[in-house]
């Protein structure tokens, strides 16, 4: 039985904390196809890259609903006229789910060289951002609140 420790990842990521918790709880039953990477491309931007060789844009569907990103792939029946002697390129259908953190939204998706790229961004509403509160002396009665620049 293997156990993976995701503790170092908690310190270096923002926006996927819940994802690592789910991975930690379900590492034994996690599907391994198709392989994927999750990378940080900016302070509040991320990219999921999935290796989907053999699948075209029409064979893939991406859906974001209630903090869950679902990527499905299903190829139409093979219409090859010749006999396949060896099949090393996977043609099986798949469904991969990613749990998204609060305020993470899908910005777009693209295909390039057999890789599906899904761009994500974390946008915290202005009301949720930290604010700086000035401390005034007794003579000033009206407090002022400034938004922090992030």
Secondary structure E strands in the chain: 36-40, 45-51, 60-65, 68-73, 94-99, 104-112, 115-122, 131-133, 145-147
Model-wide pTM > 0.85: no
Domain limits, the chain: 7-124
Average pLDDT (85-105) is 84
Task: Tell me which of 2.40.30.60, 2.60.40.790, 2.60.120.10, 3.40.50.700 is the CATH number of domain 7-124.
Answer: 2.60.40.790
pLDDT confidence of residue 17: 55
Tens-digit pLDDT profile for residues 64-92: 988 889 999 998 766 667 787 887 776 78
Percent of the chain whose pLDDT exceeds 90: 21
Nearest to 50 by CA among 40, 41, 39, 42: 39
Q: Which residue has the higher pLDDT, 133 or 63?
A: 63
- For the stretch 6-39, pLDDT in tens is 666 655 555 655 555 555 554 445 567 888 999 9
- Single out the residue of 2, 61, 7, 8 nearest to residue 32, CA to CA: 2
Alpha-carbon distance of 33 to 97, in angstroms, equals 12
What pLDDT is stored for residue 141 in this prediction?
A: 59
**Phi, psi angles (nearest 5°) of residue 116:** -95, 120
Average pLDDT, stretch 90-115? 88
Counting Cβ atoms within 10 Å, is residue 119 exposed (0-12), middle (13-18) or buried (19+)? Answer: middle
């Amino acid at each position: 039985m293997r156990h993976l420790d995701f503790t170092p990842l908690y310190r270096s990521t923002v926006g996927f904390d819940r994802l690592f918790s789910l991975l930690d709880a379900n590492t034994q039953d996690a599907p391994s196809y198709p392989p994927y990477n999750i990378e940080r491309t900016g302070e509040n931007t991320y990219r999921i890259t999935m290796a989907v060789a053999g699948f075209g844009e029409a064979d893939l569907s991406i859906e974001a609903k209630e903090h869950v990103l679902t990527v499905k792939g299903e190829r139409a029946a093979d219409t090859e006229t010749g006999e396949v002697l060896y099949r090393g390129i996977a043609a099986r259908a798949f469904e991969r789910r990613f749990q998204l953190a609060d305020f993470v939204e899908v910005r777009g998706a693209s295909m390039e060289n057999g890789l599906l790229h899904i761009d994500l961004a974390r946008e915290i509403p202005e009301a949720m951002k930290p604010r700086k509160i000035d401390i005034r002396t007794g003579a000033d009665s009206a407090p002022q609140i400034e938004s922090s620049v992030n």
